[in-house]
Structure 1
């Protein structure tokens, strides 16, 4: 063993001795830090919006925020209503009542739109009147007939407020884009102090506010069930709220189940209360502290960070298991707690530190991710991993020193445990037939690699929800009936004030509204396109005796300007959502189905190419949620390349540093890459796509699986350099650290397999694949690494030279 390694082991032993002596001070400091960080937990938030995927300076997010500042939200809470008997007077009355109640009770509301207040434009002489379709209850047959006739006369309603077959009606709830969060001073006006010149703080609608709106809507709708109406929920805000509920549900189930599983494994392994309680204390305190740091840094719980609790729990437990395994063995022999814990920390401290460091580096690779929530994981997770190491290192000796620990009566049966016979068999077959074992692994890797070639990129977050989820069912229904629930927003900038008084530009805008629904790519086709041109057509028709032939854009600037003024004077504010106040820019809204973001790119590219030809002298900007989805897809592909490369390079360097030999360090990485290739093979065979969630697995797995390899090679080196053959060193390694490796691997894969019971499919895939990777890693460490070591060292023996240095001999066994 090198002098550096010896010094480090002596350092860890010295730290343990100091902690044992100053047990109460150490425990007090740890508890004080934890209490301080626990006080920050109320500041912790959750954010599952698409905007959270982008860094603040991302051009895609900047363009989207500018759009929201100018026009408000692009997405809506969509309530689909399917009446059993069609659009009858009774149904229209129920919809009207629901509409009014939503207007009264929904918080952060911008507007509610449905057939109740569908825009109707008519003229009385030279006066333009813009009114609601149903200003009052439908009480007569003639009134019902009039309303149905108007619905047929307004193309704007189709696939937006009502399906073309009239079997489905929609209520669109639009929230405020920007919410004023400044508190109102109730004493304002009663004080002599001058008014503050500072403006109220403004922020975009938060995730919590979005969920609050969705909850209120669902509670209101619930009262209308059972009246011959089927309800469907869709729209991106509804989806975001459902994802947050799914995360909360999964976290509420996964964390307790992980602790329960760990209690069972620790009880089986150590058969002592201390062996169960001490690791749990260290893990729980480190987990609370990690979330406290998240709150201090202002990092919310997101789609990516939701995996953090279970991950930190199993990593922290693994640290404690390795230390306590050696501690209890020593304590049974010498019956001296201090000596046993000092020796245990000295023996395992370095590999535990290195495993924590490699895991942290694997996670640190996410810091450079282009996806903001993945970068947040890269900041928080490494800190959490190192906190788990520090808490374990300082708490275990303190708790061992403070509380008594009983000795367990040794077994005198003389029988060998099954695991001992298993380790003997592994030692013989891997060291005596290394070539055969290596070839078998090579065949497995070739098969897995061929399966991995079938892995495809995909990001359809709707598939994260169960098939029976109300949001998924509602989205599929509305996409099928109306042709869309996701917005692509097109901003056309004429470059001059009153540019949209130009009849040619408006005619081209109107033409785009007719052509875009005919564009199809990957079976994606817009179900609805609308713009300011629709409002002008309705106005022009109303001012021309309501003739259908007049449903066109006026052909002179003067007439356009006059009709826009009349529309503004009518009291309607619809134009503010369609154009800016100077008519320099206008909005063209495209409603399309919710589908795979990878497919959106080709579809949007076709629309973009068409618009560039349609508006050659204008500036065209594409934004909205469809653009966000495309941006997320681009970012997670580049993030994957960066994180995988960084994790592989840094962990390889750390392995070489830990082992002290370049050749062995590089060889060990072969075993650590095996699990990644295997899980990609599983993904290819089972059709699990590489999306924003599964993309995290590679770097996480690489940081995890290297832990057992470090422990194996650390103890192998000690045994091998102490004098002996490869076979003897492998056997001693398996019998000393092999048990702990098995237990920690079982805890890891068991905790991840718990995710297969999760509500969100993305968590199911993550748990299944990561759990399998841990099993593959354990198999590689037990069956591949010894074979590779035998090939590298051959039949050589290690004997001690005169100065105690290890010397290689070429003798036999």
Structure 2
């Protein structure tokens, strides 16, 4: 029991509770965890001089979902606000920022709504879907808006500029969306169901973003006031930084080609430094109780990674033979 349920100094002891879940209701894990937390709080009130930590597989499962839902409530709004600020700087148009935000929100809600209709449950992996959809959905709207604004600066009327933007961007945006969706749908080949769910949700959200961008966005822009000042053709079609960059690349094409190739090789070589590791307890920040309990248990009792060996005796009842027991003891001493 030492170093497993009792610390070497005897100042820490563990209580191991085996829970057999019926497996009939998704609410089993939350109910067990919340009830256990209630017992812990009652014990702490009755014995304030004793520290008690709650750890285990069921607690881990609930913590993943709990933290994921917390991230959705904080990271998604924060990223949305940052994205709107960046869009405002790039587009410099309230109508463009507002319409893009509508498309992004509809795409995220559609992806999550379709997930609910097809019976996909939220897990640690799938809770990241809204952030991924938000990131991908903005590209479709940006393509259509920038082309439309450029056409209006060239002197075209708003409706004519919308039609021109759709003519130019419909096929590229469709190809981008469908290839992105196919890429995420390939996650269905994963052995982990949560990652399959993530891929399906993002794929649905990406295709929803395409439909909204080519159907709803143009209609919204057509009825919204869009103020873009027309400029002389020479000024509207000139991008001095773009011309400077293109001239630089053309003049130094060979040095840039070999230099970028070497740069990419150096970066790619970093893949050899990647280590495969999966320490579940480090998935959580130290501010969470589950991480604090896990670190305490690993420091004073035992870790959560267990190596098991199967030592065959070679015959029925052979594990009771003195020769086998002696060999087993030799293995124990060696290990």
TM tier relative to shorter chain: 0.7 to 0.9
Which of 97, 102, 121 is equivalent to 1:281? 102
Q: Which runs of 5 or more residues in structure 2 are unaligned? A: none
Equivalent in the alignment of 2:263? 444
Could you say if the C-alpha distance between residues 306 and 511 of structure 1 is closer, same or farther in structure 2, counting changes exceeding 3 Å?
Answer: farther
**Residue 187 of structure 2 corresponds to residue 376 of structure 1:** no
Alpha-carbon shift at residue 169 of structure 1 (Å): 2.2
Question: Going by fraction, where is strand more abundant, 1 or 2?
Answer: 1
**1:650-799 matches, cutoff 5 A:** none
What does residue 246 of structure 1 align with? 67
Query: What does the per-residue CA deviation read over 1:289-317, in whole Å, with 9 as the maximum and x for residues that have no partner?
Result: 21122122222222332321111112111
Report whether the alignment pairs 1:166 with 2:10. yes
Tell me: CA distance 1:314–1:439, structure 2 relative to 1, closer, same or farther (3 Å).
Answer: same
Q: What residue number does 2:177 align with?
A: 356
Conserved 8 A contact 2:5-2:15: yes
Is the Cα–Cα contact under 8 Å of residues 367 and 377 in structure 1 kept in the other structure?
Answer: no
SS in 1 for 2:51: strand
Find out whether 1:432 has 2:251 as its counterpart.
Answer: yes
* 1:405 equivalent among 204, 221, 225: 225
> 2:154·2:230 contact (CA, 8 Å) conserved in 1?
no
Q: 1:461 to 1:162 in 2, by over 3 A?
A: closer
Call closer, same or farther: CA 1:450–1:519 in 2, change over 3 Å.
farther
Q: Tell me, in whole angstroms, the C-alpha distance in 1 between the residues paired with 2:37 and 2:147.
A: 56
How far apart in 2 are the matches of 1:257 and 1:516?
Answer: 59
Partner of residue 186, structure 2: 365
- Name the CA shift for 1:395/1:517 in 2 (closer, same or farther; >3 Å): farther
Distance in 2 of aligned mates of 1:232 and 1:255: 31
**Structure label with greater radius of gyration:** 1
State how far apart, in whole Å, the 2-side matches of 1:441 and 1:284 are. 38
1:487 Cα deviation from its structure 2 partner: 6.4
CA drift at 1:346: 0.4
Task: Say if 2:50 is the partner of 1:229.
Answer: yes
SS in 2 for 1:286: helix
TM-score norm. by structure 1 comes to 0.37
Q: Deviations over 1:66-107 (max 9, x none)?
A: xxxxxxxxxxxxxxxxxxxxxxxxxxxxxxxxxxxxxxxxxx
Cα shift at 1:415: 9.5
Of the candidates 66, 72, 87, which is equivalent to residue 266 of structure 1? 87
Partner of 2:332: 518
Conserved in 2, the CA contact under 8 Å of 1:332 and 1:407? no
1:360 touches 1:381 (CA, 8 Å); kept in 2? yes
SS of equivalent residue, structure 2 residue 17 = strand
| Structure with the higher helix share, 1 or 2 | 2
SS of residue paired to 1:327: helix
Q: What are the equivalent positions in structure 2 for 1:525-540 lying under 5 Å apart?
A: none
Among 317, 321, 326, the residue aligned to 2:142 = 321
> 1:299 is paired with a residue of what secondary structure?
coil
Q: How big is the shift at 1:491? A: 10
* Structure 1 residue runs without a partner (length 5+): 1-156, 180-202, 493-501, 522-813
Closer, same or farther in 2 for the Cα pair 1:246/1:517, shift >3 Å?
farther
- Tell me by how many angstroms 1:486 deviates: 5.5
Instruction: Give per-residue Cα distances to partners, 1:311-349, cap 9 Å, x unaligned.
Output: 111211110011011112223444523211111100111
- Report what 2:320 is aligned to: 507
TM-superposed deviation, 1:479 = 3.1
Normalising to structure 2: TM-score of the pair? Answer: 0.83
Per the alignment, residue 178 of structure 1 pairs with 22
